[in-house]
Copies of this chain bind each other. A is one copy, B any other.
Amino acid sequence: MPTNRPSDEPATHRRARRKEARPGELIEAALHLFVEKGFAATRVEEVAAHAGVSKGTLFLYFPSKEDLFKAVVRENIAGRFTEWNEEFEQFTGDSVELVRYAMQSWWERIGMTPASGITKLVMSEAGTFPEIAAFYQQEVIGPGHALIRRILQRGVDRGEFRDLPLDYAVYSLIAPMIFLLMWKHSMAPCCPPSHQLDPVSFIDTQVDLILRGMLKHPRP
């Protein structure tokens, strides 16, 4: 009777599980390294080493370094939008709260996780991988854009927000997120502590200001 201790599992199972886990482990390792050092500066051997396999094995799962990159992006775009759509659909509070909640959620679920590196990665390497960038636009940016737009529309419809030029107003929320994420993954590591940004305060302040600009009847 199998126990819970991994070491007691039949080796066959363990191997099999590992076998299936391999690509994931490689993608995980690649994500971290690509984000940290960029595509060109990351060596496949390093990725393999971080995943605990040999260089040859990597090429068993990914025909080339570029394919690995594509897989990293594809694997990390996670269709979270249907889930979020529903969540926000059922939201009953006022739109100020909803915007605040949305932004904080984004930070907690994406911004502060390694997944945020993906966006940095895609934007950085868009020139080298236009195909990927387009794909990302379609799968992530587009839906995200739509989601935010729906949130703002709700505020306008409920008479909470002014009559906003939605096509551009969405960017008032997107821009701070993108900025935060680029900052975190590029300049932050090179800046002295005095220039560091506290992400939560940052988001709070930005949202505060933006909402004030959006509200039909700004409170004093």
Q: Which residues of A contact B (CB under 8 A)?
A: 35-41, 122-128, 130-131, 133-134, 136-137, 141-142, 165, 168-169, 171-172, 174-176, 178-180, 182-183, 185-187, 189-191, 195, 197, 201-202, 205-206, 208-214, 218
Contacts and interface: CB of A to CB of B under 8 A. Distances in A.
Contacts of A137: 187, 190-191, 195
Contacts of A38: 40, 124-125, 127-128
B202 A171 contact: yes
B190 A134 contact: yes
Copies of this protein in the complex? 4
B127 A36 contact: yes
Nearest to A41: B128
Contacts of A210: 172, 209-210, 213
Nearest to A201: B168
B187 A133 contact: yes
A186 B133 contact: yes
A201 B122 CA distance: 25
28 contacts: A35-B127, A37-B128, A38-B124, A38-B127, A39-B40, A123-B124, A124-B124, A124-B186, A126-B186, A126-B187, A127-B186, A127-B189, A130-B189, A130-B190, A133-B186, A133-B187, A137-B187, A137-B190, A142-B195, A169-B205, A171-B202, A172-B176, A175-B179, A175-B206, A208-B213, A209-B210, A210-B210, A212-B212
Nearest to A34: B127
Contact of A165 (B35, B39, B205, B218): B205
A127 B189 CA distance: 8
Contacts of A123: 124, 182, 186-187
Nearest to A131: B190
B190 A133 contact: yes
